[in-house]
A and B are shown apart, each in its own frame.
Chain A
Amino acid sequence: MNLKLKVPSIPIEGSISYEDWLKGRRYRRELSKLVAPGVIRRKSSSSDRRLKKLFNGERGLPFTPTEKL
């Protein structure tokens, strides 16, 4: 694709700064959700017991909504 990027990309060579990585979060989420809407966290895994104990029956902290990224 030949789209003008809205945010700094995560490069192959070199590194991305923390600030630039934060800036790109919303755009990356929006792109991801074009092909896989919603939360796609696995429903179960071998770590369920420890995860659910720590996260009040969930498998992790809730994801920040896209509009708040």
Chain B
Amino acid sequence: MSVGLRAVQWNRDKIVYDAILLAAVVIFIGVFVALHSYWHPPADYRDAIDIWIRAFGTCAYLMLTVILCIGPLARLDRRFLPLLYNRRHFGVLTFIVAIIHASLMLEWFRAGGELPSLAAELTTWEDYGKFIGFPFKTLGIAALLVLFLMAATSHDFWLMFLTPRVWKGLHMALYVAYGLVVLHVALGIMQGEYTILIPLMLIGGAGTVAVLHIVAGLRERAGDQGQALTGEGWLAVGPPDSIPDLGARIVAAPGGERIAVFRDGDRIGALTNLCAHQNGPIGEGRIIDGCVTCPWHGYQYRLADGCAPPPFTEKLVTYRVRIHRGTVEVDPCPLAPGTPAAITIPASAS
């Protein structure tokens, strides 16, 4: 979509999204510190630092949990799509909160003159062979490094440089980071504190992520089963009127990628269901201003040939379509990206 790369292409939606996010983080941290200080007043400077460490750590964990829930939620209900729009900024802010947590931890050791003991804790190699007693801070450092990698490659420059397929694969490491954080807490603070709140937080957060992914995955599985081809090797979509005007029906051959068949009045075209930007489901989008528009970030493509309108250069794979005995059919063999393939519905077929 972008002609030239800029650090951030700000718009009103992103500013509002980031403002709400920042306000939520500030309020959470403030309330956490206030309540903790009220119930367990800090005895000294290190006690006070400890409260802030817990506040930022808890906040980072909850932010990671929400980030991982956005994907499946957006699949299950389109009303969650606005959360997906600026998820990258959410991720970068999570990294910032996490690194503040780590910095405060260093400050806690420094204030007690115990930085050498921190180094010793991380380099006592025998402890790495234990389970209870495993240097849990190492798990936190590993998670932080993954979050840094995510934040550092969050810009569209890396998306284009690495290609969407590689970039998306790389960003799946966020799940590994989440697992590391759960174990960091379980083998860290949960070993010394017996409040029910910590296990509840971990079970509640990870459990929510798991349930949402399972439900969304089961729903997506149905779409992957595909449908049988006709005797001539085409995919039957349905009568032209079964395709909503300015919308699409999504079909797939067994074992094949999904195909979005759009109708714009009396024109029908079939494009790959994968947006060139981040492989979003363009078939769930609509035709706006004459262009197929991805519901995730608004990338647009002409129905006629799958090309982004000038000056943009993205191209999508297209598919041949025909009207056969009153039914729209799609040839599941993909054409080269940008190949014109849309047809006009004959008056006799509509």
User: Are chains A and B native binding partners rather than an unrelated pairing?
Assistant: no
List the interface of chain A (C-beta within 8 A of B). Answer: none
